[in-house]
Amino acid sequence: MTSPKVQAIRDAAGTLTGWVFFCPACGFHHKFSTEWTFNCDLERPTFSPSLVVRYPIDGAGKVCHLTVTDGVIKFLPDCTHAMAGQDSLMVDIHSV
């Protein structure tokens, strides 16, 4: 049985626009667009280069900066959440 960690995102015409995954540090999904390099492994994905997500929470700017290699999220030190500098296994995209 497969346990995909990412899901394809397509526009109304069916064109692939990227891949979405759940971020355990932020508590919501993030997206890699098709501009990123992807190894096409849904269970142990690797994307390159790193991804930076900026978002407002309670009026303050938050940053999630990460890499994904072989299904492991590495949260880089400039993240503003509690998982900065830590690694986390990706979760099944259908479990969240």
Does the residue 29 lie in any domain? yes
- Which structural domain range is residue 31 located in? 7-95
Domain count for the chain: 1
- What is the reported pLDDT for 1? 60
At 95, phi and psi to the nearest 5?
-95, -5
Query: Minimal CA–CA distance to 88: which of 74, 76, 70?
Result: 74
pLDDT digits (tens, 9 = 90+) for 30-64: 999 999 999 999 999 999 999 999 988 677 789 99
Looking at residue 15, its pLDDT comes to 97
- What is the pLDDT averaged over residues 56-84? 92
Residue 1 belongs to some domain of the structure: no
Give a yes or no: residue 2 inside a domain: no
pLDDT in the model for residue 55: 86
pLDDT tens-place string over residues 4-13: 999 999 999 9
Residue 19 in domain: yes
